[in-house]
């Protein structure tokens, strides 16, 4: 949705900030991409009619398209600089919390602008749509805009067969299946992914990630220091095929991290 709006703005010469009211989105003093991603269906249909898109097309262009998976929303976007350079748009899946690597270019996705350290795709600034979509449109304290070329952002390379890359390939295959089966995720492992990850987080120590390098160990140690213990209550219910389904989980902060079982 955001890349489509920016390309439309660039083509018409009208920035996204002023394009939204024309398309039926009432303006506010501060606009975030989160607001745009949560537009009601009636407004999406109006935008489709005004721009000549097929009915329902924009519903597949916002993160809520994946809501049946039960993943938490991420109000920012990661990105692959090489993909931005090659294709010139922001992929919808980059908004998902479990999209973290690019199998095509074998890198971990970047998640901030290398110049201003701002996470991309959070706020709709007055520069959005006036510059190529691969530039950082974050507004700086002095009022100017960053405009850094994000296609040159550094990334961490991954080798073929590396566990993080294989995990992303598995997730992508599940997302492909989800899209091809009209959101039928009743028996999809992706529904359980967040609960399984929480189960691992409360049992893992930073040293468990030594195989992924010192940067990963340091990052997880900092994560544990920031969050304390993650208290996760998981209720399991058996499904017909013998697998277990995470029917419900609650995530809380319990202060200090307890002992590992």
Name the β-bridge partners of 135. Answer: 149
As for how many domains the chain has, the answer is: 2
Name the token pair of 17. 């900030």
To the nearest whole percent, how much of the chain has pLDDT over 70?
A: 77
Q: Is the dihedral of CA 159, 161, 164, 169 positive or negative?
A: positive
Tell me what pLDDT residue 250 has.
36
Q: Residue 256: inside a domain, yes or no? A: yes
Q: List Cβ neighbours of 14 (8 Å cut-off, separation of 6 or more).
A: 22, 129
Q: Residue 199: inside a domain, yes or no? A: yes
Clarify whether residues 94 and 140 are in a common domain: yes
Clarify whether residues 117 and 52 are in a common domain: yes
Q: Residue 60: inside a domain, yes or no? A: yes
Q: Is-above-0.85 flag for pTM? A: no
More confident residue, 236 or 176: 176
Clarify whether residues 150 and 26 are in a common domain: yes
Q: Residue 184: inside a domain, yes or no? A: no
Q: Residue 174: inside a domain, yes or no? A: no
Last residue of one domain, picked from the residues 157, 181, 206: 157
Using CA atoms, how far residue 247 sits from 49, 98, 108, 186, 195, in Å, is: 39, 19, 31, 11, 9
Look-up of token digits 């995530």: 251
Tell me what pLDDT residue 51 has.
83
115 near 140, Cβ under 8 Å?
Answer: no
Clarify whether residues 14 and 125 are in a common domain: yes
Q: What's the mean pLDDT when you consider all of the chain?
A: 78
Last residue of one domain, picked from the residues 108, 137, 157: 157
Clarify whether residues 149 and 241 are in a common domain: no
Tell me what pLDDT residue 109 has.
96
Tell me what pLDDT residue 82 has.
97
Q: Residue 182: inside a domain, yes or no? A: no
pLDDT at 150 over 50: yes
Clarify whether residues 9 and 138 are in a common domain: yes
Tell me what pLDDT residue 233 has.
36
Tell me what pLDDT residue 186 has.
61
Place 184 in a pLDDT band, splitting at 50, 70 and 90. low
For residue range 94-133, what is the model confidence (pLDDT) as tens digits?
Answer: 999 999 999 999 999 999 999 999 998 877 776 676 778 8
Clarify whether residues 21 and 131 are in a common domain: yes
| Burial degree of 8 (CB within 10 A; 0-12, 13-18, 19+) | middle
**Stretch 182-187: mean pLDDT, rounded?**
61
More confident residue, 136 or 127: 136
Clarify whether residues 18 and 147 are in a common domain: yes
For residue range 72-102, what is the model confidence (pLDDT) as tens digits?
Answer: 888 889 999 999 999 988 899 999 999 999 9
Q: Residue 117: inside a domain, yes or no? A: yes
Cα 61 to Cα 59: distance, rounded to the nearest angstrom = 5
Clarify whether residues 65 and 139 are in a common domain: yes
Last residue of one domain, picked from the residues 157, 183, 207: 157
- Tell me the residue range of the domain where 49 lies: 2-157
151 near 81, Cβ under 8 Å?
Answer: yes
For residue range 218-250, what is the model confidence (pLDDT) as tens digits?
Answer: 888 888 776 554 433 333 333 333 343 333 333
Clarify whether residues 153 and 196 are in a common domain: no
Q: Residue 172: inside a domain, yes or no? A: no
Clarify whether residues 217 and 95 are in a common domain: no
Helix (H), strand (E), coil (C) string for the chain: CHHHHHHHHHHHCCCHHHHHHHCCCCCCCCCEHHHHHCCCHHHHHHHHHHHCCCCCCHHHHCHHHHHHHCCCCCCCCCECHHHHHHHCCCCHHHHCCCCCEECCCCEECECCCCCCCCCCCCECCCCCCCCCCCECCCECCCCCECCCEHHHCCCEECCCCCHHHHHHHHHHHHHHHHHHCCCCCCCCHHHHHHHHHHHHHCCCCHHHHHHHCHHHHHHHHHHHHHHCCEEEEEEEEECCCCCEEEEEEEEEECCCCCCCC
| Burial degree of 153 (CB within 10 A; 0-12, 13-18, 19+) | buried
Clarify whether residues 240 and 130 are in a common domain: no
């Amino acid at each position: 949705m955001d890349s489509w709006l920016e390309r439309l703005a660039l083509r018409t010469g009208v920035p996204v900030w002023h394009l939204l009211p024309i398309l039926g989105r009432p303006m506010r003093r501060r606009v975030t991409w989160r607001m745009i991603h949560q537009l009601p269906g009636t407004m999406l249909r109006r935008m489709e009619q005004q721009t000549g898109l097929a009915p329902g097309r924009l519903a597949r262009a916002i993160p809520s398209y994946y809501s049946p998976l039960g993943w938490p929303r991420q109000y920012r976007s990661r990105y692959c600089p090489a993909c931005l350079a090659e294709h010139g748009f922001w992929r919808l899946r980059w908004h998902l919390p479990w999209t973290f690597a690019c199998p095509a270019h074998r890198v971990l996705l970047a998640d901030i602008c290398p110049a201003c350290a701002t996470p991309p795709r959070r706020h709709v600034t007055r520069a959005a749509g006036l510059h190529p979509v691969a530039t950082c449109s974050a507004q700086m304290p002095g009022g100017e805009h960053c405009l850094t070329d994000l296609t040159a952002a550094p990334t961490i390379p991954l080798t073929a067969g590396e566990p993080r890359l294989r995990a992303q390939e598995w997730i992508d295959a599940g997302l492909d299946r989800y899209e091809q089966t009209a959101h039928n995720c009743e028996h999809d492992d992706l529904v359980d992914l967040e609960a399984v990850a929480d189960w691992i987080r409360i049992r893992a120590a930073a040293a468990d990630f030594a195989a992924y390098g010192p940067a990963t160990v340091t990052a997880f140690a900092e994560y544990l220091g920031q969050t304390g213990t993650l208290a996760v209550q998981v209720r399991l219910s058996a499904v017909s095929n013998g697998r277990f389904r995470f029917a419900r989980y609650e995530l809380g902060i319990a202060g200090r991290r307890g002992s590992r079982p």
